[in-house]
Amino acid sequence: MSGSSATNHPMRTQITRATQVAIDMAALTIALGLAFLIRFDWSPPTTMVGRFILVAPYVVCFQYLVLRLFGVHRFAWRYVGLRETRRIAMAITVAILVLVFARVVAGKAQAQRIYFRHGVIPYGILAADYLLAFLGIVGVRVARRLYNEHTDRGKRTVESVRVPTMLVGAGQAGLMVARELVARPDVGVEPVGFLDDDPAKVGTIIHGIPVVGTTAQLPELCREYGAEQVVIAMASAPGEAIRRIRQLAQEGDLPTKIIPGVYEIVGGRVNLSRIRDVAIEDLLRRAPIDLDLDSLYEYVEDRVALVTGAGGSIGSELCRQLCRFKPQRLVLVERAETSLFHIHRELRKKFPQLDIVPCIADVTDEERMTFLFETHRPALVLHAAAHKHVPMMEWNPGEAVKNNVFGSKLVADLAHEYGALGFVMISTDKAVNPSSVMGATKRVAEMYIQALAATSRTRFVTVRFGNVLGSAGSVIPIFKEQIKNGGPVTVTHPKMRRYFMTIPEACQLVLQAGAMGDGGEIFILDMGTPVHIVDLARDLIRLSGLKEGEDIDIEFTGMRPGEKLFEELATSAEEAEKTRHPKIFIGHDRGSDMESVTAHLVTLDERISSDAHADVSAMLRVIVPEYKTPDVDDDDAEPSEDSLAPVEPIAAALRPAVAVVSE
């Protein structure tokens, strides 16, 4: 039975293809016959009827041969689209041009009284045949596609209720969403209209869906058209626009969903399963980053790259971004086995062609790290391993120094010793005028990297930025968990503000800064506008469909050890300036000489051996004089509005220097 089935299957395929050939030949024959009829007003003379019978087999076979030469026969009829239509148009054009050339030659031969009279096709017939042949070949394919879509739609139709939906954004992303929704009734979304702020689009119809007005009219138009939800179909809309649209939707008590972003649109198609509720990341979304892809390929391609902390939030995203630029080998260094397992499995699945090596290692383990550098000889080192939680490091300052200072020193020394081309250290805004052990240790690491850069052929650079959204243990996941558990949502201080950036955005800029660096620079990423933490908490409560004070409370718990009300991205002494990339700035720090930094580190090493917290903190203050513990009860410590955002004014006005905050 199985043998019979296997034998019959190719036959069925041949019959299907033979039928397609027959349909194409019939369409071309009908097109040529109609061209004769149209040319002679549906009453061709007998001689022309005979001429059609004579030339039709040759013309039709030639046209079909050209179609095959252009690969038209390989296109699946049920998926015909613009690309296939263009190829058909090219083939028909070439075929008709050859026939026109043959007509010219035959005409001259006839003029010389050579017997070609019955092979001459009038130009008018060729012109009509050009159009009709194209319409016929495309038309049969479109008819097949429409039939299949109608059949599939019938199969997919379920007895679930389709929710009337207002789409916001009639641009490219909105067009793709509309097309997919029309073709997929099983999704349960019935688009009733588009809203768009471009007045030229209002009144038009896109895939059968009218553009009914602007976003300012959202509440009343949703009521008028019976919309029960809003879908934001703008793939690269800024956070302010999303916030405004969502607030308008809330006025009409309408749930709001969103297309996650340009990365969810692949090959001109939208994965409708990815349409989701608006998240806090959407409200803080900024314009997509323009990367200098040529310089990044030159920096990464065909080189061995090593990433420390590869299983962490930043390290894992750096690995994903690096893989886009085709490194020769990617070495993942991570001490947490489970985190390393997950990122290695993910990368192996997404980039099976790349050589990805998972290495369990601690950056403070000199023997293990030396072995890895000796074995892999990385050209690029991205150092993301660090202890990052501020209160935890206040309780364990010795461990902060071991990992953040001496771990960084060891990896940097090995990069220098083994001749790495580039080294990028991930730093933090908490290293600026630090108020915590964590910030002070990161500043010490910055100082050592700068000192080493002055004497090394390796290009050592530091990249400094603020908080990233959604990283493990950060404020957003904590708030979400608290809301899930019924509250309260705990905020340390009503005036506390922080800079925020998405993890992919930060990592893209880290790679760009690494490619730009000459050595010794501290690059500062444009973090946009600082955000009140309490506003984030309120946004998350609203996004969860709850109301502050009624469903869930916000509780102020007081600032924790080492925290500041606000963070700075550069000191006044660094005089940060813009670079050729609009979102990356460079701080000019005098740096420290290697001799004094090394002497301080020797003493610091002795202090952490004693594990005396006071001794460690005291030595950090010697190395970093600006390290001061803030007065957590001082409400006047908040900066003025003019000094709060040191990098934002440049991003907005593109001035040559950053208005930085001084303590």
- Alpha carbons 163 and 187: distance in angstroms, whole number: 9
Please answer whether residues 612 and 547 qualify as being in contact, where contact means their C-beta atoms are separated by less than 8 angstroms.
no
Same fold, 163-278 and 302-466+511-526+567-653: yes
**CA angle, corner 149, sides to 144 and 155, nearest 5?**
130
Nearest one of 225, 217, 228 to 257, comparing CA atoms: 228
- pLDDT at site 469: 65
- Alpha carbons 217 and 642: distance in angstroms, whole number: 35
Q: What pLDDT, in 10s, does the model give residues 155-205?
A: 555 445 678 889 888 877 777 777 777 666 666 778 888 898 888 888 888
Q: What is the 3-state secondary structure (H, E, C) of 189-258?
A: EEEEEEECCCCCCCCCEECCEEEEECHHHHHHHHHHHCCCEEEECCCCCCHHHHHHHHHHHHHCCCCEEE
Residue numbers of the chain with a pLDDT score lower than 70: 1-15, 78-79, 107-119, 149-161, 182-187, 235-237, 260-292, 467-474, 499-501, 526-529, 545, 561-564, 566-591, 609-612, 629-663
- Alpha carbons 614 and 436: distance in angstroms, whole number: 13
CATH, domain range 302-466+511-526+567-653: 3.40.50.720
- pLDDT at site 30: 93
Cis, peptide link before residue 488, omega less than 30° from 0? yes
Delimit the domains of the chain by residue range. 2-156, 163-278, 302-466+511-526+567-653
- pLDDT at site 7: 42
Distances (CA, A) of 631 to 298, 432, 446, 504: 48, 17, 26, 35
Q: What is the pTM of this model?
A: 0.56
Residue 38 burial (10 A CB sphere; 0-12, 13-18, 19+):
middle
The residue type at 323: C
- Alpha carbons 636 and 663: distance in angstroms, whole number: 13
Cβ neighbour number for residue 478 with a 10 Å cutoff: 13
- Alpha carbons 404 and 284: distance in angstroms, whole number: 29
Which residue is associated with the tokens 């017997």? 115
**CA angle, corner 57, sides to 54 and 59, nearest 5?**
95
Distances (CA, A) of 472 to 192, 308, 401, 475, 503: 40, 16, 21, 9, 11
CATH class of residue range 163-278: alpha beta
Q: What pLDDT, in 10s, does the model give residues 421-470?
A: 999 999 888 888 888 889 899 999 999 998 998 889 999 988 887 766 65
Q: What is the 3-state secondary structure (H, E, C) of 593-659?
A: CHHHHHHHHHHHHHHHHHCCHHHHHHHHHHHCCCCCCCCCCCHHHCCCHHHHCCCHHHHHHCCCECC
- pLDDT at site 236: 66
How many residues appear in the chain? Answer: 663
- pLDDT at site 407: 95
- CA 579, 584, 585, 589 torsion-angle sign: negative
Those residues whose C-beta lies under 8 Å from the C-beta of residue 180, and which sit 6 or more positions away, are 187, 269, 270, 272
Q: What pLDDT, in 10s, does the model give residues 537-575?
A: 887 777 776 777 777 888 888 877 666 676 555 444 445
